[in-house]
Structure 1
Amino acid sequence: MAEKLYDYDPADALKSDEAIEVFLSDAFESGDARYIAKALGVVARAKGMTKIARETGLAREQLYKSLSENGNPTLETTLAVLKAIGFEITGKRHAA
């Protein structure tokens, strides 16, 4: 008997702001811009891409493209999405 495999969407696991905070913190700590963009896309999908598009004033298609693994969102887009999902970027000293 063959095993049945299912696609996994990490957006399905982001049910609380606490889960989103851990997810985004991990992405930002990586320092990898592609990973951060993709993580923001996952969170935007979890919160509802149409809602995020409406709140940011950006087109849904633009958000999907910018917040993909190969996307390169502007700082303006990044800040708008973070605000729409209820988060912000804060600075902290990098431990050497």
Structure 2
Amino acid sequence: MSNKLKIDNMLEFDMAQQLKNEEDIIEYLQQVLEENDGSELAAALGHIAKSRGMSEIAKASGIKRESLYKALRPQSHPRFDTIQRVCKALGVRLTVEKVHAEL
């Protein structure tokens, strides 16, 4: 009998399952924002919404659940209005800070 590990038998990683509390969510969002990748931000918000319950976030944001899944999938580019509504529903806010000297 072979003890080889088969890829088909491995569990798929689900980021939403790793987000257990508010601190996890804030740390995750901060790391994603440092990457300056809009599609990664959308995917991260999707993971967070999934961890909180996509139906509840859809209702709180006023966005249909199916539309929310589409807007917050990897490689998507949602409108800023969508990002704002989802952030508000999640109880988080994106902030701005100066990182470079004035030009």
Residue in 2 aligned with 1:35? 40
TM (norm. structure 1) is 0.93
- What is the distance in 1 between the residues matched to 2:4 and 2:84? 46
Extract unaligned runs of 5+ from structure 2: none
- What is the distance in 1 between the residues matched to 2:91 and 2:100? 27
Tell me the number of residue pairs that the alignment of Structure 1 and Structure 2 aligns.
96
Matched, 1:10 2:39: no
> CA RMSD of the aligned region, Å?
1.2
Contact kept in structure 1, 2:49 and 2:90, CA below 8 Å: yes
Shift of 1:9: 0.2
- Of residues 63, 66, 79, the one that matches 1:58 is 63
Matched, 1:48 2:53: yes
Identity between Structure 1 and Structure 2 (%): 34
TM (norm. structure 2) is 0.87
Please say which structure displays the higher CA radius of gyration.
Answer: 2
> Which aligned runs of 4 or more in structure 1 are off by greater than 6 angstroms?
none
After superposition, what is the alpha-carbon deviation per residue over 1:23-52, rounded to whole angstroms, capped at 9, x for unaligned? 001111100111111111111101110000
Matched, 1:92 2:97: yes
